Structure 1
Amino acid sequence: MRCIYVTGTAGFIGFHLAERLLAEGFRVHGFDGMTPYYDVDLKRNRHAILRRHPNFSATEAMLEDEAVLMADIADVGPEMIVHLAAQAGVRYSLEAPRSYLSANIDGTFNVMEAARIAKVKHLLIASTSSVYGANTQMPYREIDKADSQVSLYAATKKASEAMSHAYADLHAIPTTCFRFFTVYGPWGRPDMAPIKFTRAILAGEPIDVYGHGQMFRDFTYVTDLVRGIRLLLDQVPERGKPVSEADSLSPVAPWRVVNIGNGEKVALGDFIAAIEEACGVTAIRNYMEMQKGDVRATWADNRLLQQLTGYRPQTALRTGIAQFVTWYRSYYGI
């Protein structure tokens, strides 16, 4: 039975990925620090669901604890590692910047070292569309320069990409970095817009709409995202074997970066309208200026994902939002 080691399995995306891998017959070992950045009970409830499966096991510890992480990966002996655990959130990086250095830089380095020692067949590392920063040419392509990050969160993720490229070259570790675009769906993070908006709308409270609503995002439904990750597991980068001229495959290392996004630029107002429709309630909108570190728009060119896997995310926004609101009402008893 193939074993996949997944960091961040109590997190939003890690939980959904672990569920999919288990359903396909993989053995999954998770690693999560249960940090209190948001409701730890939500994280424990996700893990409780995964623990019902006989092929799931997990270790609760911090990525920064190098000795524990190294020993755990050595003991499990995974075929591949999917590194999702990180300190997330653009806005929180203004409040607690040092936590991003320890989790996203030190923690990722520890994962790479463990992958090197374990000689895994494929290391996959989560990145973010935020690395495109101040780029204005859209849709974003993986081969575009991404040197103008505008938040520390994005900067640490770009640094993780650069470190992983060096390790792929130095130690011949096949590595794929995937850049997520705005992800939403059941079991989502409470600090993200879908839950914040839904909670306020159902309670009859105003929602803060940044950028006066003149913002655009490439919203990606979580099950579409994890399907993309699952398919990329089997697309191990090989040096000198690009799939097209637009392939981000490194010229010197078995390393590439891949966008996983819906491929649509959606106005924030349309996103709110979809939540209003699913809730059956009109939002009270409090228009505000953009926050520091935010970008006006994101939009993925997802052709490389399709070239590699034959798949493109396809869940329509209103369909995904309706499913999310149904989960929200059930989970929170509303």
Structure 2
Amino acid sequence: MANFNITPSDTTTFILMGIPGLETAHLWISVPFTAFYFIGLLGNFTILFVVGKEETLHKPMYLLICMLALTDIVMSTSTMPTALCIFWFSLKDITKAGCLTQMFFLYMVSIMNSAVLVTMAYDRYVAICNPLRYTTILTNARIVIVGLMGLTRAVLFVLPLPLLLSQLQFCTNRIIPHTHCEHIVVAKISCGDITVNRLYGVLVAFLVFGFDLTLVALSYGLILRAVLRISSRRAHQKAFSTCTAHISVIMISYPPGLLSVLTHRFGPGLAPHVHIILSNLNFLLPTMLNPIIYGVKTKELREKVGKYTC
């Protein structure tokens, strides 16, 4: 690691180490990462293309699916090109400005992704509990407004993270033991007090994702109550089948992210390469699986995708 030390006069460059301890396996690790990344890009761009071409899909639910696809694309693209450059070409230099920019977009899109999932839960609530008013409550214009509000919330919550880091002093150690610029990892290599950074990072994680998960749970609690009031078993199955895709996406989106946050802050005994691999999979797996889930579970979308691909 001494070969990558930077002189104290170099105040603008960091070194991303990739996965420390597994340097010899970088090329092999890049194989599944690359596959997950490009499958995710293909699936999400296919959804964007099909929904954009088919006017029959210009509905709130499919607009939300497109917003989810966009956040997945940006989230994975914020990290994977950097990781693949390390794995393939050993290109480990990143400027301080580039590091902070990557961090901003990564966390901003993550919070935006969570806002989209909450809106999807509300969409399912209205579709099941107020089906006759669905078209008046949820319109494309309102979905766009909610999306802009989610984007504004994400920017306001995330902007302090790079601003706080930019105030820290970085001494001789500018080596980041990661594949991308993760907030707490970059903060730990500074030679200043990072108490505020730690507290704000935990606050954002639990305030944003805790609040969003509460809204999702509330929506599904109301859905469950409404469904149980229906005596028909067939109606039960139909109602639950409309929620299957969204519940599946929730299960692959929130638990890995919360696990990554908790292990970084409260799991110091865990091997560093486990932290890093979990962090990367947190961005890769939802990006790859979300379009597959919606493509399989949503009949109308599946038929339109089949129309263009076949």
TM-score for both structures, normalised by structure 2:
0.29
Report which of the two structures shows the higher radius of gyration computed on alpha carbons.
2
Which structure: greater strand fraction?
Answer: 1
TM-score for both structures, normalised by structure 1:
0.28
